[in-house]
Amino acid sequence: MSEARESFTPLNADELAELIGNIQSHGLRVESKIERRRGGAGPSDAGMLWIDGAPTTAPTDAAYVQSSPYEMRHEDDGFAVYEGSTRLAEVRLAPRPKYYDLSTEDGIPYWKIALMHLDSMASTVLQTCAYWGNSDQCTFCGIGVSLAAGRTIAKKTPAMLAEVAVAARDLDGAVDATLTTGSTATPDRGALYVGKCAEAVKNASGLPVQVQFEPPEDLDVIDRVKDLGADSVGIHVETFDPKVLAQVAPGKARWGIEAYFGAWERAVKAFGEGQVSTYVILGMGEDPQLTIESCRRAVDIGVYPFIVPLRPVPGSLLADERPPAPEYVESIYREVVPYMLARGMTAEGVMAGCARCQACSGMAALERAGSPASEGGLADGRTSLPLFA
């Protein structure tokens, strides 16, 4: 072990929160092979690792990453994040999952059915979307990119997913399953199919399962999905700013923001407070004050607003954009996370899914830094969150 490593002190909660926020905005240059996710729905271009023990996904492939000040370097007995010559934090890489070496009886590799996102098995069960390839396409999404590249298959069956979930649990220690879907041109928007997939996964593996879908026309569908056995649900508005939503996700915008609040209220009744979440993507031109106020409104009805910086996906319509400045992302976290903490809503209470994993957001790091029980807490019980440099 080198002298630098012998004398290195791990980051405290505030410093770690700052570093994760900076890396998620600037990206991480890597010189070694790293498990990553390319294309797909949701945050992609994701190198998967732990930074000083905190689960993190970081942009690694987009062109802007090459100008990042942060680099992952190999050391004698591991890896670390450096800024110039300064060693900042220890890195542990996600290993290649063992179940990736397996295939179904008809020859489909397990990794084309579901991927490991650190400790969560995740799959887009329908890799096609009614919005893809037309004027309704979500500009931030890459659901068709991985399909076109042959890295997945268009439709995963409940039986396939159940088979892979058991292997992911037994061989790689998966602790939950996250199942999302492209939207279908049907009244339920694909919710019932992803619910049936969740039922199969739950019955076979016993893993907690989150399902993700658009608001269905008939809100009774939400109760039917719950009855199939899903533990939590993600109904993702992406942005609370209606003008921005119309620009970046015109198909979704036709529902209107209030339709999402209506679906969330029904979902909270079915799944419970904190088990319903929505993605909130920052950096697409949204009104920050409206975003803060809407996040708080969502929290008030029991919805976890999972806030992430825009991560431009190579191959998507926003591929040439840049993530927002970390200072801006932190300014939103700073207004929302303490509000959530004051109401007892934390990532630790989420049973499954993205809000449970937290690797694509800096919220969990700020939760730890801002907890009244931590050294960041103030004597009167208010939370003190760090400011990014």
Residue 313 is predicted with a pLDDT of 84
Torsion sign over Cα 157, 147, 206, 102 = positive
pLDDT at residue 375 is higher than 50: no
Asked if 180 and 143 count as a contact pair (C-beta separation under 8 A), the reply is no
Asked if 298 and 125 count as a contact pair (C-beta separation under 8 A), the reply is no
Global confidence as pTM = 0.90
List beta partners, residue 55.
50
Question: Crossing angle of helices 288-300/257-271, nearest 10°?
Answer: 30
pLDDT at residue 369 is higher than 70: no
Higher pLDDT, 245 or 44: 245
Asked if 275 and 231 count as a contact pair (C-beta separation under 8 A), the reply is yes
Report the phi/psi class of residue 276: left, alpha or beta, with left for phi > 0 and alpha for psi in -120 to 50.
beta
Higher pLDDT, 382 or 316: 316
Domains and CATH numbers, the chain: 3-93 (no CATH), 98-370 (3.20.20.70)
Tell me the DSSP string of 332-389. HHHHHHHHHHHTT--GGG--SSHHHH-TT-SHHHHHHHH-TTSTTB-TTS-B-PPPP-
Task: Compute the distance between CA of residue 51 and CA of residue 28 in angstroms, rounded to an integer.
Answer: 12
Q: How many residues does the chain have?
A: 389
Asked if 175 and 353 count as a contact pair (C-beta separation under 8 A), the reply is no
pLDDT at residue 357 is higher than 60: yes
Least confident of 44-53, 169-178, 291-300, 339-348: 44-53
pLDDT at residue 3 is higher than 50: no
* Ranges of H-type helices in 173-284: 191-205, 220-227, 242-248, 250-253, 257-271
Name the pairing type of β-strands 29-30 and 70-75. parallel
Q: What is the pLDDT of residues 61-107, one digit of tens each?
A: 788 889 999 999 988 888 999 999 999 999 998 889 999 999 999 99
pLDDT at residue 5 is higher than 90: no
Asked if 360 and 353 count as a contact pair (C-beta separation under 8 A), the reply is no
Mean pLDDT of 38-61: 75
Name the pairing type of β-strands 36-37 and 115-117. unpaired
Asked if 387 and 330 count as a contact pair (C-beta separation under 8 A), the reply is yes
Task: Compute the distance between CA of residue 310 and CA of residue 363 in angstroms, rounded to an integer.
Answer: 14
Buried b (16+ CB within 10 A) or exposed e, 315-343: bbebbebbbbbbebbbbbbbbbbbbbbee
How many Cα atoms occupy the beta-carbon half-sphere of 138 within 13 Å?
29
Mean pLDDT of 29-45: 61
Mean pLDDT of 244-272: 97
Asked if 94 and 119 count as a contact pair (C-beta separation under 8 A), the reply is no
Q: Report the chain's mean pLDDT, rounded to a whole number.
A: 88
List beta partners, residue 233.
211, 276
List beta partners, residue 72.
30, 81
Task: Compute the distance between CA of residue 230 and CA of residue 82 in angstroms, rounded to an integer.
Answer: 41
243-250, Cβ contacts within 8 angstroms, sequence gap of 24 or more: 244/284, 244/285, 244/286, 247/139, 247/284, 247/285, 248/138, 248/139, 248/140, 248/284, 248/318, 249/131, 249/138, 249/139, 249/140, 250/135, 250/136
